[in-house]
Amino acid sequence: MNNLKEQIDPQRLPNHVAIIMDGNGRWAMQQGMERTFGHENGVTSVREAAEAAAEIGIKYLTLYAFSTENWKRPADEVDALMNLLVKTIHSETHTLQKNNIRLKAIGDLGSLRPETRDELFKAIDTTSSNSGMTLILALSYSARWEITEAVKKIAKKVQNNTLRTEEISSSTISDNLTTAGIPDPELLIRTSGEYRISNFLLWQIAYAELYFTSKLWPDFRREDLYEALIDFQSRERRFGQTSLQIKKDQTAN
Ligand code: IPE
Ligand code: IPE
Ligand code: MG
């Protein structure tokens, strides 16, 4: 079958898809270009993935755009990435509006430059009443930073006597992460053939299905998202139970 989209069951879509967009630098180097050329070309892939996900009915799409550790890259690459971010958020706001997409951001946003933050908050504000998909940009994000911040918030509540230690549950932790209120990703995609998580959503992906593709991010197109969704739908998600239990539950429903 060549129409990949038709192979996707709209009733069994993951609620939340997260993507580690990797391989921009290698994509550019392969063509004898500067790494930043790869970042610039990755913007088309972001647009394709976001439009395709919104159109198919995915409710949440989280894109890992810049990690806490990425600040350690050479200053000129960090500069180029931050400038690209400002430019892209500005020029793509109409794409978000057109597709009824609401923008959100997670990460240590206070560490971003004022002009990046301003552009970001402007786009978040402009798109805040859109009711289609929520697009979450992970910027200056790392899961260990996020979990550390959550621990501090929880500790303060205990200190202020607004929370008792015995009351701390798994949902207390979820509710104090930057993703509070957002369902956990059910599908995590990583491009570029690397098989690692690189400090992304460690708590939230406890039961996510992982999908790795060797495609470099600037080559990622809607069909690649469709392939990942088809693969997701072929999996049996057992959550610790046996296959027989899962099949029984399915027939009961
Ligand atoms: C992903 O591509 C984009 C960011 C991390 C900002 P890379 O820049 O990591 O590209 P590779 O992995 O070096 O090819
Ligand atoms: C992960 O990619 C971060 C983003 C995609 C933003 P990296 O390229 O930074 O990850 P490592 O260094 O290969 O693990
Ligand atoms: Mg990389």
Cβ of 66: how many Cβ atoms within 10 Å?
A: 21
Does residue 173 fall inside a structural domain? Answer: no
Domain with 53 in it: 13-143+183-252
Residue 194 lies in a domain: yes
If you take atom 2 of ligand 2, which residue's CA is the nearest one? 22
β-bridge mates for residue 194, sequence order: none
Reported as a pLDDT band with limits 50, 70 and 90, residue 203 is: very high
pLDDT given for residue 154 in this prediction: 98
> What is the number of the ligand 2 atom nearest to the C-alpha of 23?
8
Q: Which atom of ligand 2 is nearest to the CA of 65?
A: 6
161-187: average pLDDT: 98
Q: What is the mean pLDDT of the chain?
A: 97
Per the domain annotation, does 96 fall within a domain? yes
For residue 8, being part of any structural domain is answered with no
Pairing of strands 102-106, 60-67: unpaired
Categorize the per-residue pLDDT at 253 as very low, low, confident or very high, splitting at 50, 70 and 90.
confident
Name the residues annotated as catalytic. Answer: 22, 70
Q: Residue 151 domain-assigned?
A: no
Using an 8 Å Cβ cutoff, are 203 and 27 in contact? no
To test the ligand 2 pocket, which listed residue (29, 35, 45, 70) has its Cβ within 8 A of the most ligand atoms? 70
Dihedral sign for Cα 40, 41, 44, 46, please.
Answer: negative
Instruction: Please state, in angstroms and rounded to a whole number, the distance separating the CA atoms of residues 188 and 17.
Output: 6
pLDDT value of position 2: 66
Which residue has better confidence, 20 or 250? 20
| Ligand 2 pocket residues where CB is under 6 Å | 20-22, 64-67, 70, 194, 196, 198
Helix (H, G, I), strand (E, B) or coil at 17: strand
CATH number of domain containing 245: 3.40.1180.10
Please give the structure tokens belonging to residue 163: 């929370």
**Is residue 39 one of the residues assigned to a domain?**
yes
Nearest-CA residue for atom 3 of ligand 2: 67
Whether residue 96 has pLDDT greater than 80: yes
Q: What is the pLDDT of residue 187?
A: 99
Tens of pLDDT, residue by residue over 46-70, are: 999 999 999 999 999 999 999 999 9
Nearest ligand atom owner, CA of 217: 1
- Beta carbon of 23 within 6 Å of any ligand 1 atom: yes
Q: What pLDDT, on the 0 to 100 scale, is given for residue 1?
A: 52
For range 100-115, the mean pLDDT:
98
Gap between the Cα atoms of 203 and 137, Å rounded: 17
Percent of the chain with pLDDT over 70: 99
Q: Does a structural domain hold residue 166?
A: no
Q: What total of structural domains would you count in the chain?
A: 1
Is residue 171 included in any domain, yes or no? no
Helix, strand, coil percentages in the chain from 3-state DSSP, rounded to 5: 50, 15, 35
Q: What's the pTM?
A: 0.97
How would you write 181-219 as a 3-class SS string? CCCCCCEEEECCCCCCCCCCCCCCCCCCEEEECCCCHHH
Residue 70 in contact with ligand 1 by CB distance below 6 A: yes
Q: Which atom of ligand 2 is nearest to the CA of 22?
A: 5
